[in-house]
Structure 1
Amino acid sequence: MAVLEDIMKAIQKYNRIIIHRHQRPDPDAIGSQVGLAEILRASFPYKEIFVVGKDIPGFDWIGQMDEIDSGLYENALVIVTDTANSPRIDDRRFNEGEMLVKIDHHPNDEPFGDVIWVNDQAASCSEMIYGFYQHFADKLKLPKSAANALYAGIVGDTGRFLYPATTPKTMLVSGALMAAGAQASAISRREDEITMPLAKLSAYVYENLKLTKHNAAYVVLTDEILKKFGLSEAETSAVVPLPGKIHEVSAWVIFVQQADGHFRVRLRSKGPAINGLAKNHRGGGHPMASGAKAKDDDEMKDIIAQLDVLCQQWQEKE
């Protein structure tokens, strides 16, 4: 692929490379970011390689971020992984480098950057990073630290290989990462673990989950509820997959209240494509996993109604 050659030429050209990812990161955001950094550090030990963004304590086992001076962006290559649009990029200095590369597996709704490599058929951005390594295996090294980070990203974005985006290639890549030293069982166990407050919130989600006529499920997590369990909004990602465990549920939405009162909308599906719905409410994402925003109760009701229609249409086609 010509775009891979372009990315490699940029990596070889620049002696300073700064890697970004999206805000509110998940394992794939950090896994792809850190995995790429570890590959480049092992392969080009004379280059300066940095990863930037907010440190997330719950994911520090995948990798920790670097604090760098803005002056380091001068004459630097900036790579952004796992981020569909520029407003979501963590650390707003991403445009201060000399060259910008986008590597992502979401629909390319905003093609930012000088070089763009997007594959929306990939199960995760971490899978793409391994593909980049594999394409240049004669020039690149894959240390155990990179294998662990990339495996963590794949496990996160495939829901431990439960989501429909998981392909035979995903499994082959995962096996290759295990052969390279990724601690598969430890990583899966770590991503499956929750704290006691999250366990109690999980019980609340199941207790209060509602189902529409056509099997669209929804629950609202207000600021008051989160305070009751001693949790922050950022910690709620662990409960997002829970409704999908219920046989009757075709698609679901979890509304999480933000500090300014509006709601973050977490949409997931087993069949109906939901990214169009997300786009209609200031969001976007994958057909089976998207995010949006709702300003008030009326907009939340509108989203629930639209999700119910999508489930009905999907059921009629099945």
Structure 2
Amino acid sequence: MAKNTWEIAKKAIEEHENIFIFHHIRPDGDCLGSQFGLRELIKTNYPDKNVYVLGDNGGIFPFLVWDFDKFDEIPKEHFNNSLGVVVDANSSNRIQFAKYILDGNFTHMLRIDHHPVDPDINYDYTWEDATYAAAAEQVAYIAMKAKWKVTEKTAEYTYLGINTDSGRFQYEYVQQRTFDVMSYLHEGNNFRVWDVNFPLSVRDEKKVRFSAYVLLNYVNDGQVLWFHASKKVQKKFGLDENSANDVNIMANIGDCKIWVLFIDQPDGTIRARVRSNGIWINHICEKYAPGGGHEVASGATCQNKRDMKHLIEDLKAEVRKHAKN
């Protein structure tokens, strides 16, 4: 069930002079696209406001410009009448540079998110709606409803988020509204989806070889497919924890219900990217903190191989439970 509407986000933005936008840890196309798309919208339609983006892109999507701001270089007076905005995220353990929020630097806080989660941050304004395919779709929807001008840069950023989080428009949350938003992104500018689609389609040869290896070596255990991208495997293909993360290599193979990609992290933890083609898995992932997300697209954190085994067993139990209903 949605919490509030687009209008609460517009109201929050209009009432503050200084806007600071945050994204989640381990950034993806949606959190980056919604973050920079919102920045461009505010700068275009409210040129007197100061807008800052905090975080980093982790080296992904290099075909777009990711000019992040440095917190320590921001004029102190801009923290007056300030609005901290969190897009595509919720709780502090999921937000990059959350310490700036927890330290109370901002007058008020706004959250724009499509994850159905109760956060540990006391937001003054919240627009949460899990029926959206992407947070970037929410951002673009605000622009459409508010009749904001959309520049080519805005369209590129928000389209990146919509495209990647919807699996190129194939997931169930894609609806007429999604295409209404897409149509609006084309108005009054020279935006072409090809300019984003083509660089997204270019495949790194190392990743292609990695994908082939995953397909030859995944484990099928009780309709749960899984593969462990260990540090050894990452090194074998010249990848790191960010580039060896395509969980959907194993999507919808045979009669599988859930697929999981475990990825060794530099800090010794093991990131689990979990996907399903119908069975809700976010409540299971929440047990392996930090974890959670969408009903059929979530993440979890394992401390060791024992946790990996427990997570797989929990997911298998959910498959059996689903089969009985």
TM norm. shorter chain > 0.5: yes
Give 1:159 shift.
0.7
Higher alpha-carbon deviation: 34-43 or 258-267: 258-267
Q: Secondary structure at the match of 1:147?
A: helix
Give 1:31 shift.
0.5
**1:126 counterpart = 2:128:** no
**Separation in 1, partners of 2:140, 2:209:** 37
Q: Quick one: which of 186, 202, 209 aligns to 2:211?
A: 202
Q: Look up the match of 2:249.
A: 242
- Structure 2 residue ranges without an equivalent (≥5): none
**Separation in 1, partners of 2:323, 2:198:** 34
**1:190 counterpart = 2:199:** yes
Identity within the alignment, %: 29
Give 1:268 shift.
0.4
Q: Look up the match of 1:18.
A: 20
Q: Look up the match of 1:66.
A: 69
Give 1:57 shift.
2.5
Contact 1:160 1:188 in 2 (8 A): no
Aligned AA for 1:148? E
Give 1:109 shift.
2.0
**Separation in 1, partners of 2:170, 2:299:** 19
Question: What pairs up with 1:105-254 in 2 under 5 angstroms?
Answer: 105-110=114-119, 112=121, 113-137=123-147, 140-179=148-187, 181-213=190-222, 215-237=223-245, 239-254=246-261
Aligned AA for 1:266? R
With normalisation by structure 1, the TM-score equals 0.91
What are the Cα deviations for residues 54-84 of structure 1, in whole angstroms up to 9, with x where unaligned?
2433224344122242544521221111112
Aligned AA for 1:121? T
Contact 1:147 1:181 in 2 (8 A): no
Q: Which has the higher helix share?
A: 1
Contact 1:84 1:107 in 2 (8 A): no
Higher alpha-carbon deviation: 167-176 or 262-271: 167-176
What are the Cα deviations for residues 136-190 of structure 1, in whole angstroms up to 9, with x where unaligned?
11xx221111111111100010110122222222232223324554321332232
Q: Secondary structure at the match of 1:83?
A: coil
Q: Secondary structure at the match of 2:60?
A: helix
Give 1:99 shift.
1.5
Q: Look up the match of 1:259.
A: 266
**Separation in 2, partners of 1:66, 1:107:** 29
Contact 1:70 1:93 in 2 (8 A): no
Give aligned pairs, total.
313
Question: What pairs up with 1:264-279 in 2 under 5 angstroms?
Answer: 264-279=271-286
With normalisation by structure 2, the TM-score equals 0.89
Distance 1:38 1:70, change over 3 A: closer
Higher alpha-carbon deviation: 78-87 or 177-186: 177-186
Contact 1:63 1:149 in 2 (8 A): no
Distance 1:293 1:270, change over 3 A: same
Q: Quick one: which of 46, 49, 54 aligns to 1:47?
A: 49
Higher alpha-carbon deviation: 142-151 or 72-81: 72-81
Contact 1:105 1:118 in 2 (8 A): yes
Higher alpha-carbon deviation: 190-199 or 222-231: 190-199
**Separation in 2, partners of 1:305, 1:203:** 26
What are the Cα deviations for residues 263-299 of structure 1, in whole angstroms up to 9, with x where unaligned?
1111001111110110122211001100011122222
Give 1:302 shift.
1.4
**Separation in 2, partners of 1:107, 1:217:** 25
Contact 1:264 1:294 in 2 (8 A): yes
Aligned AA for 1:302? H
**Separation in 1, partners of 2:137, 2:15:** 24
Contact 2:229 2:244 in 1 (8 A): no
Contact 2:63 2:199 in 1 (8 A): no
Q: Look up the match of 2:113.
A: 104
**1:30 counterpart = 2:32:** yes
What are the Cα deviations for residues 227-266 of structure 1, in whole angstroms up to 9, with x where unaligned?
12111101123x2111105233221111111123221111
User: RMSD between aligned alpha carbons?
Assistant: 2.0
**Separation in 2, partners of 1:59, 1:66:** 18
Distance 1:60 1:98, change over 3 A: farther
Q: Secondary structure at the match of 2:191?
A: coil
Q: Secondary structure at the match of 1:272?
A: coil
Contact 2:117 2:293 in 1 (8 A): no
Q: Secondary structure at the match of 2:195?
A: helix
Question: What pairs up with 1:68-83 in 2 under 5 angstroms?
Answer: 68=71, 69=73, 71-72=75-76, 74-75=79-80, 76-83=82-89
Q: Secondary structure at the match of 1:234?
A: coil
Contact 2:12 2:125 in 1 (8 A): no
Give 1:7 shift.
3.1
Give 1:96 shift.
1.3
